């Protein structure tokens, strides 16, 4: 029996506030394209299909993107596929293989292939109850790839969007491509975040490059003054001198009332200088390396505290490894030198209310003196753009889309080898020592995000692609 797929409820949002981010000529082109695509859709819907409604960059992107599209008259909806633990265990391993990591072996066995294809076949039956021939289906990432041939046969215009990739694919990566290629090649268009990520064997005429972006007006990126930042962090229990989890704090349309789970349980001093990394508990984000690099090369020189912030354990539906990674980091904390251990904190952020979670992330990034993203691999890494938009100096690995966002020495600092803990620590410590340089990097970082990584550019590119596919179907 096919599973019951989940439709994520979403409202509409006016795109008028985006005008403030664009020059008049750019705004005119943007609004014209959005309205033309809405008119082309007529009675058709656009269906975004992915594997989770909460946690991770894709879910966050859809949560702001779809309301803007609906606000201009497009019928855009969001469905989440269902699967058991074996399915998500395999797709998590597939994610690692696509990054060149083969901890459990590089071969995809027959049992995994069968689980993957049968799970998505069952989902296709359930999805067909909602989707109609002629609709546009936008599939996200490897978890959904095997749905592409089904919806092409069903009479939909199909786009498969890959949010992950590597700059120099090895044989492990290419093996994962070969597994997915027969499914993906059926799509009318494939979308990648970077040109370097485009797979061998795809029809290049069907490939589009659309880097992701952030919404300047979303709770995670909206402007917050220093007093509001401090109050949010006190209310959720990160900074001292607050009553965590008691009186809800209203911030715009959202509120903060749930307590962040700190490890160790001691709150940070009110005047602490902060180094912050925000990411899922994922080995590719290298939280252990961040912690060890900070303990060895930053803590002995600089009086900063490190916060590694991520989701509360077992809250991201499509990531069964999350809890295990968190346990590894907690165990690593116990092996740090005592003096450094006192200044390293793991923060498991509440996830029950996405707006609350976003406000806490916003406050953490704004309160940080330095934001880091020492990933070993990264599809794009929008936590970097989020921090840059807030005018923070960022130290990050020269991997994936991070290197598209940061111009080294101008709008942030890039570490050529993410395993080089000494270089990482020196870069972080240097920004604390030279606050003038840190301020200059932060100022230019915000300018760069405004030029290249805000919502209007991504909305414009995607609307243009959908419009061309609808035109070619006539």
> Would you list the domain boundaries of the chain?
6-213+455-472, 271-452
CA atoms within 13 A on the CB side of 374: 27
Q: In this predicted structure, what is the pLDDT of residue 242?
A: 60
d(CA 35, CA 73): 7
* pTM of this structure: 0.89
d(CA 419, CA 204): 34
The CATH number of the structural domain formed by 6-213+455-472 is 3.40.50.2000
CB 87 within 8 A of CB 119: yes
Q: Is the pLDDT of residue 24 over 70?
A: yes
Q: Is the pLDDT of residue 314 over 70?
A: no
Q: Is the pLDDT of residue 317 over 70?
A: no
Q: In this predicted structure, what is the pLDDT of residue 98?
A: 92
Q: Is the pLDDT of residue 231 over 90?
A: yes
d(CA 95, CA 118): 19
CB 346 within 8 A of CB 263: yes
Confidence of residue 149 (pLDDT cuts 50, 70, 90): very high
Terminus-to-terminus CA distance in the chain, angstroms? 35
Q: In this predicted structure, what is the pLDDT of residue 103?
A: 74
pLDDT in tens, 59-84: 989 999 999 999 999 999 999 999 99
Instruction: Of 32-36, 80-84, 95-99, 276-280, give the lowest mean pLDDT range.
Output: 95-99
Could you please state the CATH topology (level 3) that the domain comprising 271-452 is classified under: Rossmann fold (3.40.50)
pLDDT in tens, 416-465: 999 999 999 999 999 999 999 999 999 999 999 999 999 999 999 999 99
d(CA 196, CA 365): 29
Q: What is the mean pLDDT of the segment spanning 131-138?
A: 97
Q: Is the pLDDT of residue 315 over 80?
A: no
Q: What is the mean pLDDT of the segment spanning 335-344?
A: 95
Q: Which of 414, 401, 317 is nearest to 372 (CA)?
A: 414
CB 205 within 8 A of CB 185: no
Q: Is the pLDDT of residue 244 over 60?
A: no
Q: Is the pLDDT of residue 313 over 90?
A: no
Three-class secondary structure of residue 259 per DSSP: coil
Q: In this predicted structure, what is the pLDDT of residue 320?
A: 64
Confidence of residue 100 (pLDDT cuts 50, 70, 90): confident
Q: In this predicted structure, what is the pLDDT of residue 243?
A: 57
Confidence of residue 318 (pLDDT cuts 50, 70, 90): low
Q: In this predicted structure, what is the pLDDT of residue 354?
A: 87
Instruction: Of 37-41, 131-135, 377-381, give the lowest mean pLDDT range.
Output: 377-381
Helix 382-389, helix 354-367: angle, nearest 10: 60
Percent of the chain with pLDDT over 70: 97
Confidence of residue 13 (pLDDT cuts 50, 70, 90): very high
Residue with tokens 């590089």: 106
Confidence of residue 473 (pLDDT cuts 50, 70, 90): confident
Confidence of residue 144 (pLDDT cuts 50, 70, 90): very high
pLDDT in tens, 150-200: 999 999 999 999 999 988 899 999 999 999 999 999 999 999 999 999 999
Q: What is the mean pLDDT of the segment spanning 139-147?
A: 97
Output the average pLDDT for the chain: 94
pLDDT in tens, 248-294: 899 988 899 999 999 999 999 999 999 999 999 999 899 999 999 99
Burial 76-98 (b: 16+ CB within 10 A, else e): bbbbbbbbeeebbbbbbbbbbbb
Burial 21-55 (b: 16+ CB within 10 A, else e): bbeeeebeebbebbeebbebbeebbbbbbbbbbbb
Q: In this predicted structure, what is the pLDDT of residue 445?
A: 98
Please tell me if the domain spanning 6-213+455-472 has the same topology as the one spanning 271-452. yes
């Amino acid at each position: 029996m096919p599973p019951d797929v989940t439709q994520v409820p979403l409202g509409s949002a006016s795109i008028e506030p985006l005008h403030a981010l664009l020059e008049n000529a750019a705004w005119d082109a943007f609004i014209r394209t959005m309205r033309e695509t809405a008119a082309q859709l007529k009675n058709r819907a656009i269906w975004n299909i992915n594997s989770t409604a909460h946690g991770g960059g894709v879910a966050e992107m859809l949560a702001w993107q779809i309301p803007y599209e609906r606000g201009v008259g497009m019928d855009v909806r969001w469905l989440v596929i269902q699967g058991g633990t074996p399915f998500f265990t395999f797709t998590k391993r597939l994610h690692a293989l696509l990054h060149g990591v083969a901890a459990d072996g590089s071969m995809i066995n027959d049992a995994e292939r069968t689980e993957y294809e049968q799970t998505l076949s069952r989902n296709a039956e359930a999805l067909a109850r909602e989707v109609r021939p002629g609709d546009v289906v936008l599939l996200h990432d490897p978890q959904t790839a095997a749905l592409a041939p089904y919806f092409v046969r069903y009479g939909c215009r199909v786009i498969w969007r890959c949010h992950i990739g590597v700059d120099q694919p090895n044989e492990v990566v290419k093996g994962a491509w070969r597994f997915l290629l027969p499914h993906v090649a059926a799509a009318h268009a494939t979308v990648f975040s970077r040109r370097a990520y485009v797979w061998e064997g795809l029809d290049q005429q069907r490939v589009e490059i659309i880097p992701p972006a952030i919404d300047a007006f979303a709770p995670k990126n909206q402007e917050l003054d220093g007093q509001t930042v401090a109050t949010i962090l006190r209310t959720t229990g990160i900074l001292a001198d607050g009553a965590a989890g008691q009186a809800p704090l209203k911030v715009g349309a959202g509120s903060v009332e749930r307590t962040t789970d700190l490890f160790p349980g001691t709150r940070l001093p009110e005047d602490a200088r902060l180094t912050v990394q925000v990411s899922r508990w994922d080995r590719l984000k290298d939280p252990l390396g961040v912690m060890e690099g900070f303990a060895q090369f930053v803590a002995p020189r600089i009086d900063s505290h490190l916060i590694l912030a991520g989701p509360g354990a077992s809250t991201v539906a499509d990531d069964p490894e999350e809890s295990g990674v968190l346990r590894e980091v907690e165990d690593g904390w116990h092996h740090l030198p005592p003096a450094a251990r006192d200044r390293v904190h793991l923060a498991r952020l509440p996830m029950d209310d996405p707006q609350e979670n976003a406000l806490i992330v916003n406050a953490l990034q704004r309160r940080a003196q330095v934001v880091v993203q020492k990933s070993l691999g990264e599809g794009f890494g929008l936590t970097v753009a989020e921090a840059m938009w807030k005018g923070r100096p960022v130290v990050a690995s020269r991997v994936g889309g991070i290197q598209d966002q940061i111009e080294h020495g101008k709008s942030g600092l890039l570490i050529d080898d993410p395993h080089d803990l000494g270089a990482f620590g020196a870069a972080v410590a240097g920004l604390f020592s030279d606050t003038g340089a840190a301020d200059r990097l932060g100022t230019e970082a915000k300018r760069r995000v405004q030029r290249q990584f805000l919502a209007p550019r991504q909305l414009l590119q995607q609307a243009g692609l959908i419009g061309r596919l609808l035109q070619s179907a006539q």
